[in-house]
Amino acid sequence: MTENLMTFPQLKQAAKKQLRTGTNRRDLMLAYLLPSLLQAAAMITVYLMIQAMVQSFGVEKVINDPTGFQAYYAQSSNDSGMVNTIQSLVVTMLAQGVNFAVLDLVRNHERVRPLQAVLGLFNGKWFWGSISLWIFMYFLTLIGLSFLIFPGIMLALGWRQAFWVFKDGREADQRFSSITALIGSWRLMNGFKSDLLGLYLSMIGWYLLENATFHLFDWAINPYLQLVHANYYENRRAYKMAALRRNGSDVHF
């Protein structure tokens, strides 16, 4: 991977080329199928629940008393909160397993084996570290969002690469921790958080399409999106490591 910063069009072109190579598109679609369907089921369930609450509360009352409806919704949805959290964790574990395989594809042109990829984190090497990493990211981002939206977004962008940093660190050292992965991601994204936000905005149409279709077609969209992100991570990481070496600094990610 070049040590020069790739532009967004170059990252997207690389992802499209990788998708067209061999059976990559088919393999990735199959790999993302299960987490995508679980995510879709959760979204549809939430939509139906909200629709039922609106009808129960009364459409006219929702319009005239939105604060009252918010309180009613919060009270009614308490029981489903834990289920939603567990569902989010399961989907993350399945999807991140595939994302690890996507990074291997970008780096080593390794073919993605769908079943092996989707279950990739469910072993002693990755399982507990990945769960603890998800927990830290989930609650720390919530803390940031509880103060202001912008700090929460900045935290999320700073830790966006944490799972891939965790993968690289754990492959080099079995004792590499989730906390170290968060720190490594933050260091990697230092100076790049606005850049990453720009990449997200350049692909906002895809994200809107995923949400508009209740994530039913994420299995067809995610292969491209995650290849773009994997190329972004690999390129920015190579660039940052080269800069640190030139300055005589230790590399921590």
CB atoms within 10 A of CB 173: 10
Comparing CA positions, the residue from 161, 166, 228 lying closest to residue 200 is 228
Distance CA 213, CA 210 (A): 5
Residue 174 placed within a domain: yes
Q: Is residue 72 part of a domain?
A: no
Alpha helices in the chain (DSSP H): 8-20, 24-57, 59-64, 66-76, 78-108, 114-118, 127-147, 149-158, 162-172, 178-188, 193-202, 204-212, 218-246
Residue 194 lies in a domain: yes
Q: Determine, yes or no, domain membership for 221.
A: yes
Cβ 166 vs Cβ 130: under 8 Å: yes
* List of residues 6+ apart from 62 with CB closer than 8 A: 54, 69
Name the residue with tokens 């720190």. Answer: 183
CA distances from 81 to 42, 86, 136, 201, 222 (A): 12, 9, 18, 29, 26
140 is a domain residue: yes
123 occurs within a structural domain: yes
- Summarize pLDDT for 3-45 with one digit per residue, the tens: 689 999 999 999 999 999 999 999 999 999 999 999 999 888 8
Residues in the chain: 253
Query: What global pTM score does this model have?
Result: 0.88
CA pair distance 208, 214, nearest whole angstrom = 10
Q: Give the pLDDT confidence of 153-207 residue by residue, as tens digits.
A: 888 899 999 999 999 999 998 889 999 999 999 999 999 999 999 999 999 999 9
Query: Which range of residues forms the domain containing residue 197?
Result: 8-33+81-246
Tell me what pLDDT residue 72 has.
Answer: 66
Number of domains in the chain: 1
| Domain assignment present for 40 | no
pLDDT surpasses 90 at 247: no
